Structure 1
Amino acid sequence: MTTHAALTHSRALEVARQALTVEAEAILALGPRLGEHFEQVIQLILSCSGRVVVMGMGKSGHVSRKIAATLASTGTPAFFVHPGEASHGDLGMVTPHDIVLALSNSGESDELNAIIPALKRQGVKLIGMTGRPESSLARHADFVLDSRVEQEACPLNLAPTASTTAQIALGDALAVALLDARGFRAEDFARSHPGGALGRKLLTHVRDLMRSGDALPRVAADLSLLEMMSVMSRKGLGCAILVKDDGQVGGIFTDGDLRRLIERGTDLRSLTAGEVMSPNPRTVAVDALAVEAADLMESARITLVLAVDEQQRLQGAVGFNDLMRAKVI
């Protein structure tokens, strides 16, 4: 093995850039090769009453795990089975209702080829993703996804690099096409990602975070300004909300509004809540996603929005700090 002492920074950059170019070209070459077989694979998976079982050995095995995870998180039930373990009992995880997606760049993986007869006896449909359409895997597969590359990104053209990148990209294309065909929505995606920031943004609604009931600083139009200030102080939301007799929002008065009155030298003792309210406060539907409330606050440069029902009746209020505590923002 040669020493690395002769490797210069310029050489390292040249090799790295060439590797990226080779892999980018490998991905771009996949598109024109997609055709009728790809569409048939999509229809086959959509009509499957079982799951997609993804298999592969070595580097293809690592890619298989990723493809299975992507499919499962985008509406297509899927899981990974190691071909070597399948020969020693794990094949029992595969049912006749399932579909097997087998990955092998050469198409000659001994472990995969060993279990193909058993899969065929069960009547399991087999999709082969391979770089060699003339391989054993391709000959026995019901459908073939062509993942061949002209060369590996490895300077020796040996290490699986461009070929595994092509497999990942083709797997992503499959998952995205299925996602679109199923009408998969952001809300559906969030249900399989409830634990992270994405889940919080897509699953948390305004009603989950808002202050409501006695926590709201509700006031009537004829309440004196001094009495309204007392309500604001007790509720601690930094505002008072004018509520009409029918429950609809009539206006809002904030700490900022109070400061501006004081700066103008206004006689606070002579004013009522109705006289100082700002009409048409920013509102959001009570069933809206919390992230929508965050977007409204950001665009309007405010720190609180009111939650209303379909009749514009006050249901609650959600502030910037509420969104922060829930890690929506």
Structure 2
Amino acid sequence: MDDLSRHTLAPASLATPLDAAREVLNEAATCLGAAATALGPDFLATAEALGAPESRTVVLGVGKSGHIATKFVASLVSTGHRAAFIHPQEALHGDLGQARDATLAVLLTHSGATDELRILTPYLKDFGARIATITAFRDCLLAEHSDWVIETKVKAEAGLHRLAPTSSSTTTLSLCDALMTASLTIRGFTPEQFRCLHPGGLLGRGLMTVRDVMLEASTLPWLKPGSSIWEVLDVVTTGARGFAVVCEADPATAPPVGSVGVISDGDIRRALADRSGFDALTADSIMTASPMAIATDALMFDALRLMEENRFTFLVCEDGGRLRGAVHMHEILARDLGVPVRRDRLP
């Protein structure tokens, strides 16, 4: 339990509910700025321990600190850390076994004097875990038994009577997010790693690449440059793709993308509208030479943006200057990226 003697109390003096709300937000912003300025060696050492390849982290807290601890662990796990939340009360009755292999224990406590954490700290150290405590008071009891102390710098809460956790909980949560982010920087965490840990939902889909949805080169509708207009009609209108690539060699051989042309159903409509010499037309006479290409490792968002900006429904995909496939807008929209499509900018 927190020691109330260390809280700064104040009488209620806020004129309106909006005044109270603004005070909470303004004081939180001030506290976050102070915490950012105070970051130093202990914070960095904790981040390095958290980001180490062999790191196994347990996070403990009681009350509101416990809720923040569970969110911290959820964020850590979602970014590939090995982490677990242990409720201090349950730890006192057997759950401490979860910490036997821990390399780092992060203790969240505003007062720095939470009884349960004081009892558990010697056992955590016996297991070989380094101890990092996030608290408002560097001279607290738990600091004496910690390897590192990260100060929130919050000595008083905001709002009515200054009793309910406001500034302290906001700052503690933000410091946990800051630790996670710093550790990811140390690990060199990539969007691809994040995507692998989020196979569902908008986060995962938003990080999908063109390679994930493109039609492989070996499956592309294909014409040779001298193919007749009737062959063009047959290939482009078969299979509901609405386009074909034009090249001398089978696309499966990955020809240079600069030697490839494309024909869309729109190209055929324009040729029909002209009507002159239609029977004599060939694929290379109506194709778009050297079409816009996108790298296979580009994000689907980028492919969709290029299509909208240029009024295309598909793009050829390249890797190392070679044709690797094509991506159609339908393949991207089927993934429901959660972004509005500018229908007025589509072909």
The normalised TM-score by structure 2 is 0.84
Aligned counterparts of 1:258 and 1:96: Cα–Cα separation in 2: 67
The 5 Å alignment of 1:94-243 reads: 94-202=99-207, 204-212=208-216, 215-243=219-247
CA 1:51–1:290: 2 relative to 1, 3 Å = same
**Greater mean deviation of Cα atoms: 170-179 or 39-48:** 39-48
Q: Which one of the candidate residues 302, 305, 322 is aligned to 2:315?
A: 305
Confirm or deny: 8 A CA contact 1:48 1:98 kept in the other structure.
Answer: no
Question: What is the percentage of aligned positions where both structures have the same residue?
Answer: 36
Counterpart in the other structure of 1:6 = none
Question: Deviation digits for residues 150-207 of structure 1, max 9, x if unmatched?
Answer: 42122210001110001011111111111111111111222222222221232x4434
Counterpart in the other structure of 1:254 = 264
Aligned counterparts of 1:258 and 1:44: Cα–Cα separation in 2: 62
Structure 1 position 274 matched with structure 2 position 278? no
Counterpart in the other structure of 2:10 = none
Aligned counterparts of 1:76 and 1:175: Cα–Cα separation in 2: 9
CA 1:208–1:40: 2 relative to 1, 3 Å = closer
CA 1:86–1:301: 2 relative to 1, 3 Å = same
Confirm or deny: 8 A CA contact 2:52 2:187 kept in the other structure.
Answer: no
Aligned counterparts of 1:237 and 1:121: Cα–Cα separation in 2: 65
Confirm or deny: 8 A CA contact 2:48 2:186 kept in the other structure.
Answer: no
**C-alpha deviation, 1:276, in angstroms:** 1.3
Aligned counterparts of 2:48 and 2:176: Cα–Cα separation in 1: 15
**C-alpha deviation, 1:84, in angstroms:** 0.4
Aligned counterparts of 1:119 and 1:287: Cα–Cα separation in 2: 44
Counterpart in the other structure of 2:335 = 326
Structure 1 residue runs of 5 or longer lacking an equivalent are 1-9
**C-alpha deviation, 1:99, in angstroms:** 1.1
Counterpart in the other structure of 1:285 = 295
CA 1:205–1:31: 2 relative to 1, 3 Å = closer
**C-alpha deviation, 1:117, in angstroms:** 2.4
Counterpart in the other structure of 2:95 = 90
The 5 Å alignment of 1:1-40 reads: 11-40=16-45
Structure 1 position 54 matched with structure 2 position 59? yes
CA 1:236–1:215: 2 relative to 1, 3 Å = farther
Question: Deviation digits for residues 63-88 of structure 1, max 9, x if unmatched?
Answer: 11111222223343221100000000
**Greater mean deviation of Cα atoms: 43-52 or 109-118:** 43-52
Question: Deviation digits for residues 21-75 of structure 1, max 9, x if unmatched?
Answer: 0111111110221112222223333447341110000000001111122222334
**Greater mean deviation of Cα atoms: 186-195 or 166-175:** 186-195
Counterpart in the other structure of 2:73 = 68
Confirm or deny: 8 A CA contact 2:217 2:326 kept in the other structure.
Answer: no
CA 1:168–1:287: 2 relative to 1, 3 Å = closer
AA of the residue aligned to 1:59: K
RMSD: 2.3
Question: Deviation digits for residues 211-232 of structure 1, max 9, x if unmatched?
Answer: 3467532111222112311221
AA of the residue aligned to 1:244: E
- For the residue of structure 1 that corresponds to 2:162, the secondary structure is coil
AA of the residue aligned to 1:324: L
Confirm or deny: 8 A CA contact 1:49 1:97 kept in the other structure.
Answer: no
Aligned counterparts of 1:103 and 1:180: Cα–Cα separation in 2: 23
The normalised TM-score by structure 1 is 0.88
Structure 2 residue runs of 5 or longer lacking an equivalent are 1-14, 340-347
